[in-house]
Structure 1
């Protein structure tokens, strides 16, 4: 069982500091079920590759179990793929051998441990019960570029078909800790098995390892079920906790947003003006299939449904409760069937690549980007402009220069406590121009709301076209 990780930053040999493993010598660790060997087949300033070779002793595993030997033993306990294919044995080895790296700590290079680095991971034989499609649905939303080659059952007998084993290479700019954590969780999910007993402590382990990415992963439910070996009570407990951790925050944001921003903006009907402006740009683009990303309670969705031009409308939000409220606002349960076929609400996050968002004519992000801190903003940029890549993207965000015109808003305070930033017109234009250069879009800028001669309009909008 072989895993290699290659770093291509400079100096690449600093990978040894991140892994706490010296590139100049091999190391071995006894894991009980076998041995893990760490060595470096490639070491230079431009590229450095570490290999984790896991030797599993299946005979030793069987002999170590309680119970009679001999006739009661099944042949499959001795003859199986465990010594060769990536599985939960590899996850245990990663957690034991690369514990500090997976925790994101490095005494010698702490700043490097916190950085996103160009990394490549290769798994020589990864069982994937669900095929290449599932493989991609698990890793691509996390930002990985994936190459997968499926192995035949027997090269001498092609008529036997293909095996469930893939040679897989993952490439991404990620923290090393994130890469190791994703492998730790997702390898046994793809294998759909574990070599050890799964109990309540495994729920805690999954929630700890999945912090920051699992709750909004498009395949969250499948990951939870498989990781917990389809034990219904454990999976339900894990999903309830993931939802409970998500929803109060989402509800808090919605409440604050309603109380604070609407109080500020209601006198000038800014919310309605934003929807009208975005709707006008979407109609002008000629789009027929439209995404509302961060749809909230469905204000824009309701406006889109009134226009026959839009044949397919999808609203996505990270908050289940927001989607429920959007459903209520749109009266989906009582909507005529032909009208109901035009609209769909989906749960998802802009932090992860989601193939459900690909192939649409246009997307709108109405007052969304200011809620994202810089790393999440960068992830959103790639997922919308590089991966989903609609022909037209409409983005609105507050104009911070206009804040001085709002009564009751102290100097220096943002319109909403959850805003990570509020940009000036120049800052927003620089961001949009950078998006255009990186992803092949041409932005144009329009004011939303009554424009003040000195400070501009209260909302600024960019319409990206390609």
Structure 2
């Protein structure tokens, strides 16, 4: 597919000014990627007297077939010849028009910052199209290009086979145009008239094609004698769109004849007469609140997690600032309805490139969901069983980690204001729970603290002074710049400084361990002594990119074990209790070694874990990074404490995986 644009010049006004107007350097060959292939721009000749720019479009036939599936796509007249063998890669068509908007966008708009006055002037242009499909023959070509100011319109029919002239001519012509026109006007005419002569488009004609036609046809289409044919063919004979375009072109013609603005002509309807305000449904208010929060966060790439039937995706598509929108839902039926609502099979090519619908469960991590600016969970969490909620929390906040997360959920306190909702019933039959404002706030603050986010709360809908709004929204904003926990900067990276002055490593033996001078914060190495009633310290364990402290405490011989966990972006220990796991009997845990002192594991914020009993001597404690760590009573041996280093248990220290069968249940 080939097109050349040439001009002539003088030493005072060289022809190479064409390079400035096209924004393409005459001394370079440039390549551009398009949706169906690759476009090349180069200059066969470039001198002060004559300059010619060539646009060569290489169409990928496989991509054309794949992207052309579905009603209204790939509708070229010869596409039925064969799936991968047809005239589309060679004949000038709507594919070339779309490539022109990509390669010569500034020239089409008549913009040139370097030579603005030259862009407003007419040039002696020569345009050649070697293979142009023309349904209507050379006669139609002259009817269309003749009234547009070209002094020469040369259209020569291409024979089917030069060796067999009796076969006649094909529907393709060699087109040569010469005349004095503005470069922008010439490119706009080609953009509209190439698919008009071909009488086909490779993409579905959406309503926004009317605006494209009027923009490209400004100044010449309203008064063109073949306006109806051009409008009908460009809009693929869609009667509704053709009528709309014709009416607007008529307004343009009337305004130009009276030297008025179009708005002053089309003033028969007073828009202020309809002043009745209609209440906005709660779903609409919720979408408006989400859109406002996304705009405030500056998000452009957005995940709609649990997109359902695509209402929010549709609203996001209407705002051009959202350049990439991904809707995820576990239900294929819902995604099918969403695709039908969005009319994906009929959507324009550029618009369709902004949206993706994917099937996926939100309780599982997905690497493809990482790196987005924002994620929205609109009325989603209440559809999960509470035991499954932590999995969703980690998948979104721990794995995907978007910069901003919006979560909306019903406020159960407001249910008393719904007259048709029976007392004690949820708003939807699939709601597994509905939270009060206090419950939602507590959950959101806990998730934010665990995963390194700050959280704010927004009321959605009318805010009742007694029961609050019908919908509550939490806006989570990531606090760590790199998406990692603060433990990297405070706990792990600060392992050498956070516990300055702690006890240094001591030798391991059956007797008491000697105390060394203050070390650099590394964990002491010592074997844990046996004790049937002792308490065992377990160090920090890194989970994903989160530092989570686990403390297992065995009491007496009943193995009544409590696990305390807590994510720590700030290095602090958690305080959320897990259920106790009783065991039968016997000592709480079996130590990993027979004798020697145990080392306490002090957390970075000064909170202490407890040490296992040793064989003899009093227990001693070492200070943590930011405060003195109290020590727990031990057996008969000294047990110098050591601070947490990189989150791994010290050598010789008993971990939860090294416990006995009874302790492993904890």
TM-score calculated relative to the size of structure 2: 0.36
Correspondence list, 1:13-162, <5 A: 13-64=16-67, 76-144=82-150, 145-162=152-169
Indicate the SS of the match to 1:25. Answer: coil
Change (3 A) 1:112 1:162: same
Q: Give distance in 2, aligned partners of 1:213 and 1:64.
A: 33
Asked which structure has the greater CA Rg, the reply is 2
The residue that corresponds to 1:171 in the other structure is 178
Q: 1:114: how far off?
A: 0.4
Q: 1:63: how far off?
A: 3.2
Indicate the SS of the match to 1:91. Answer: helix
Change (3 A) 1:249 1:185: closer
Q: Give distance in 2, aligned partners of 1:74 and 1:121.
A: 30
Change (3 A) 1:246 1:64: closer
Indicate the SS of the match to 1:77. Answer: coil
Indicate the SS of the match to 1:247. Answer: helix
Q: 1:66: how far off?
A: 5.3
Q: 1:156: how far off?
A: 2.2
Unaligned runs of 5+ in 2: 71-78, 261-666
Q: Give distance in 1, aligned partners of 2:144 and 2:259.
A: 29
The residue that corresponds to 2:5 in the other structure is 5
Q: Give distance in 2, aligned partners of 1:93 and 1:252.
A: 35
Q: 1:74: how far off?
A: 5.7
Q: Give distance in 1, aligned partners of 2:17 and 2:85.
A: 40
Q: Give distance in 1, aligned partners of 2:223 and 2:80.
A: 41
Q: Deviation per CA, 1:341-387, whole angstroms, max 9, x where unpaired?
A: xxxxxxxxxxxxxxxxxxxxxxxxxxxxxxxxxxxxxxxxxxxxxxx
Q: Deviation per CA, 1:68-93, whole angstroms, max 9, x where unpaired?
A: xxxxx965331110111100001001
CA RMSD of aligned residues (A): 1.7
Q: Give distance in 1, aligned partners of 2:155 and 2:210.
A: 30
Q: Give distance in 1, aligned partners of 2:165 and 2:94.
A: 30
Correspondence list, 1:316-465, <5 A: none
Q: Give distance in 2, aligned partners of 1:43 and 1:249.
A: 40
Q: 1:60: how far off?
A: 2.2
The residue that corresponds to 2:240 in the other structure is 233
Indicate the SS of the match to 1:241. Answer: helix
Q: Give distance in 2, aligned partners of 1:74 and 1:213.
A: 35
Indicate the SS of the match to 1:96. Answer: helix
State which of 191, 198, 218 in structure 2 corresponds to 1:211: 218
RCO greater where, 1 or 2, for CA within 8 Å and sep 6 or more?
1
Change (3 A) 1:66 1:20: same
TM-score calculated relative to the size of structure 1: 0.52
Change (3 A) 1:64 1:200: closer
The residue that corresponds to 2:294 in the other structure is none
Correspondence list, 1:271-282, <5 A: none
State which of 211, 214, 221 in structure 1 corresponds to 2:228: 221
Q: Deviation per CA, 1:81-107, whole angstroms, max 9, x where unpaired?
A: 011110000100111100001111111
Q: Deviation per CA, 1:407-448, whole angstroms, max 9, x where unpaired?
A: xxxxxxxxxxxxxxxxxxxxxxxxxxxxxxxxxxxxxxxxxx
Change (3 A) 1:8 1:79: same
Q: 1:246: how far off?
A: 2.2
Change (3 A) 1:249 1:109: closer
Q: Give distance in 2, aligned partners of 1:120 and 1:252.
A: 33
Q: 1:247: how far off?
A: 2.6
Q: Give distance in 2, aligned partners of 1:189 and 1:136.
A: 13
Q: Give distance in 2, aligned partners of 1:93 and 1:183.
A: 12
Q: Give distance in 2, aligned partners of 1:74 and 1:243.
A: 37
Q: Give distance in 2, aligned partners of 1:74 and 1:172.
A: 38
Q: Give distance in 2, aligned partners of 1:153 and 1:191.
A: 17
Q: Give distance in 2, aligned partners of 1:38 and 1:252.
A: 40
Q: 1:43: how far off?
A: 0.9
CA contact (8 A) 2:68 2:202 kept: no
Q: Give distance in 2, aligned partners of 1:75 and 1:118.
A: 40
How many equivalent residue pairs? 248
Indicate the SS of the match to 1:51. Answer: strand
Q: 1:59: how far off?
A: 2.0
Q: Does 1:184 align with 2:191?
A: yes
Q: Give distance in 2, aligned partners of 1:46 and 1:33.
A: 36
Indicate the SS of the match to 2:147. Answer: helix
CA contact (8 A) 2:43 2:54 kept: yes
